[in-house]
A and B are shown apart, each in its own frame.
Chain A
Amino acid sequence: MKGNEAIAEAALRAGVQAYFGYPITPQSELPEYMARELPGRGGVFLQAESEVAAINMVYGAGGAGARVMTSTSSPGVSLMQEGLSYLVGAEVPCVIVNMVRGGPGLGNIGPAQSDYFQATRSAGHGDGRLIVLAPSTIQEAADLTILAFDLAERYRNPVMILGDGILGQMMEPVSFPPPQRRERDLSWATTGAGDGPRRLINSIYLDPDELEQHNLRLLEKYRRAQQEEVRWEAYRMEDAALAVAAYGLAARVARSAVDRARAKGLAAGLLRPVTLFPFPTAAFRQAAERVRAFLVVEMSAGQMVEDVRLAVEGRVPVFFYGRLGGVVPTPPEVLRQIEQVAGEVAR
């Protein structure tokens, strides 16, 4: 199954009730799948007039208590930034899929990881954050999609699945859990039921003290997520002297390179963040006590590397290798980087 379709099917199994989106390559299979499947399975599909409208439809439906999602690619996420800020501010749960493509500007439709900053640093304007999940296989994309809906509701916060063009397009076998009915607390949602005190979906707090309290409450949620939701994978890290750090598609390439390095007798391992926000800071800090260096591999000019450096806090050197503009690094390329870094720290 294609990655985009697997995410759509996983969302259906997770009980998604509404999808709003606008076509953009390389994720259009996702809305197409939803247009075909969702109405027959009791949900709402609507093609919006823009990503701006789509994310605001998500806000309306999510605020009304529906399990809701959208999907897009990089330029579309730029247009959704305003809506994301309101979603975070009003604490409306929803899932956003970003199949990242090369930028800046119109860029191209090649796979890229250049939206890491956009995804992890801030949800639009203000101090809000998204929870960001980064799958590296189709199976993981399906599993994380189901998790995304649960996290969105647990934290009443938007959750982003950060993939890339290839993850959306490539095909792998995938298995799905049977559809599950979940108990959901909708005591906050504007359902218009008129069965209690009136409810409000809102992000305006004119009094600075009140807005500060609101922000502190959001911060507390992120702190809780940092404690309870951090996910990562360690591969051949037990005795590694050199840790390669990569997520998503780049992590698959890095994994092959680590195996090749091991075959050559180099003690390399892979540390792969699955949650990009909250970032597995503690795992990196602990690894920094054992390894002699990190090599961060990204399909970007160097974005996640900042989080690695913040976690490592100068304990060991952190090297970076990136390919840009929709170019995917190859395992031999990354192997050469591993060898180079190994050579440098050996000196």
Chain B
Amino acid sequence: MKQVTDRPKVLLDVPMHYCPGCTHGVAHRLVAEAIDELGIRGRTIGVASVGCSVFMYNYFDLDFQQAAHGRAPAVATGIKRVLPDRIVFTYQGDGDLAAIGTAEIVHAANRGENITVIFINNAVYGMTGGQMAPTTLLGMRTTTTPYGRDARQAGYPIRIVELLNALQGPAYLARVALAGPANIHRAKKAIRRAIQTQVEGRGFSLVEVLSTCPVTWGMPPVEAVRWLEEHMLPEFPLGEFRTPEAREAVLVPLGGGGKG
């Protein structure tokens, strides 16, 4: 029999701590495959954030820094500025990036910081036990919205990709979903393209990855994927929102435009 796939080299052969049905493992694998395929394992530095993926450095054969809650884009900025030939990526959840870390992500994106951000959106705070996230859907029950999220009291789900798409800095912005093989395949391509954007020195890249959290959602994994498709896709449309080519066609290139 012919072997058609294997563990990505950059992914260590250790058990992961994630809950059954959690999509972090899938997202990790896609990042690892992209790193392997681009041949950048020997010059990549990861930045882990606060949330369930806080221990992701245990799974990757890479140098890693662990950042304070929400600060990963600032930490990545510090690394990238002093080591510009390294590939630097952050991996952040929705509480980390879209609530406590909004200032850091907006300004890293606006500076066109040449880093890559993998943004996991599962509409809930997973590690702390299922509280409302900025991306929680209206009407969705969480431990801090026990009667369902009410916009009058708690505002609306934040669409981060659309928000960042208002800025001139980003080079690549995409939203993908870990729901079904076709979507996962597209997610892989987007993550690879985001890192490729950085390798080419074209500026800030971010991929929002719609993910499931079956345990805090209170449903079996298969049902969670169905729920993602039925409820999250209408709220968070998929696609490439910004590409380096489109950006460079209409905007001043990075570093240009000043009168000196």
Residues of A near any B CB (own CB < 8 A): 17-18, 20, 44, 46, 48-50, 52-54, 56-66, 68, 82-83, 86, 90, 190-195, 198-204
Cβ–Cβ < 8 Å partners of B14 in chain A:
none
B42, B64, B75, B81: the one contacting A56 at CB < 8 Å is: B75
Is residue B199 contacting chain A, with contact meaning CB distance below 8 A?
Answer: no
Contact among B62, B68, B71 for A192, CB-based, below 8 A? B62
17 A-B residue contacts at CB 8 Å?
A: A18-B78, A18-B81, A59-B65, A59-B68, A59-B71, A59-B75, A60-B65, A60-B67, A63-B75, A83-B71, A190-B65, A190-B79, A191-B63, A192-B79, A194-B42, A195-B42, A198-B60
Tell me which residues across on chain B come within 8 A of A199, comparing CB atoms. Answer: 63-64
Question: Are B63 and A192 in contact (CB-based, < 8 A)?
Answer: yes
Cβ of B86 < 8 Å from any Cβ of A?
yes
Nearest 5 A/B pairs, CB to CB: A60-B78, A194-B42, A56-B74, A61-B78, A57-B78
* CB proximity of A334 to chain B, nearest CB, Å: 43
Write the nearest CB–CB distance from B8 to chain A, whole angstroms.
15
CA distance A52 to B108 in the complex (A): 13
Contact B68 A56 (CB under 8 A): yes
User: Given the complex of chains A and B, what is the CA–CA distance between A66 and B67 in angstroms?
Assistant: 17
Q: Which residues of A contact B103 (CB under 8 A)?
A: 49-50, 52-53
| Residues of B close to A53: CB separation below 8 A | 71, 74, 77, 103-104, 107
A83 to B71, CA, bound (A): 9
With contacts A56-B104, A61-B81, A64-B45 taken as known, whether A200 is within 8 angstroms of B75 at the C-beta atoms is no
**Taking the complex as formed, is B61 at the interface, i.e. its CB lies under 8 A from any CB of chain A?**
yes
**Bound-complex Cα distance A53 to B107 (A):** 9
A12 → chain B closest CB, angstroms: 16
Which residues of B are in contact with A by a Cβ distance under 8 Å?
41-45, 47, 54, 57, 60-68, 71, 74-83, 86-88, 103-104, 106-107
- Interchain CB contact under 8 A, A200 and B57: yes
Q: Provide the bound-state CA to CA distance between A258 and B74, in Å.
A: 48
Tell whether, in the assembled complex, residue A20 and residue B61 are in contact, meaning their CB atoms are under 8 Å apart. Answer: no
How far does the Cβ of A128 sit from chain B's closest Cβ, in whole Å? 14
**Residue from B57, B61, B74 within 8 A of A57 (CB atoms):** B74
With a CB–CB cut-off of 8 A, which chain B residues contact A60? 47, 65, 67, 74-80
CA distance A53 to B74 in the complex (A): 5
Q: Which residues of B have CB within 8 Å of A17?
A: 82
Contact of B63 among A18, A83, A198 (CB under 8 A): A198
Name the CB-closest residue of A to B75. A60
Q: Of residues A64, A86, A203, which shows the largest number of chain B Cβ atoms within 10 Å of its Cβ?
A: A64
Q: Give, as a whole number of angstroms, the nearest-CB distance from B257 to chain A.
A: 18
Contacts of A198 in B (CB 8 A): 57, 60-64
- Other contacts beyond A60-B74, A192-B62, A202-B57: 20, CB < 8 A: A17-B82, A20-B78, A46-B77, A48-B107, A53-B103, A53-B107, A56-B68, A56-B74, A59-B67, A60-B76, A60-B78, A63-B79, A64-B82, A64-B83, A64-B86, A194-B41, A198-B62, A199-B64, A200-B63, A203-B66
User: In the assembled complex, which residues on chain A have CB atoms less than 8 Å from the CB atom of B45?
Assistant: 64, 190-192
Are A192 and B44 also in contact (CB < 8 A) when A49-B107, A82-B68, A201-B66 are? yes
Question: Which of B43, B71, B79: most chain A CB closer than 10 A?
Answer: B79
Whether the Cβ atoms of B68 and A86 lie closer than 8 Å is yes
Return A226 CB to nearest CB of chain B, in Å: 28
> With a CB–CB cut-off of 8 A, which chain B residues contact A201?
64-66
CA distance A192 to B106 in the complex (A): 26
A73 to B77, CA, bound (A): 23
**Neighbouring A residues of B42 by C-beta, 8 Å:** 192-195
- A149 to B: closest C-beta gap in Å: 15
Most buried by B among A54, A61, A63, A193: A63
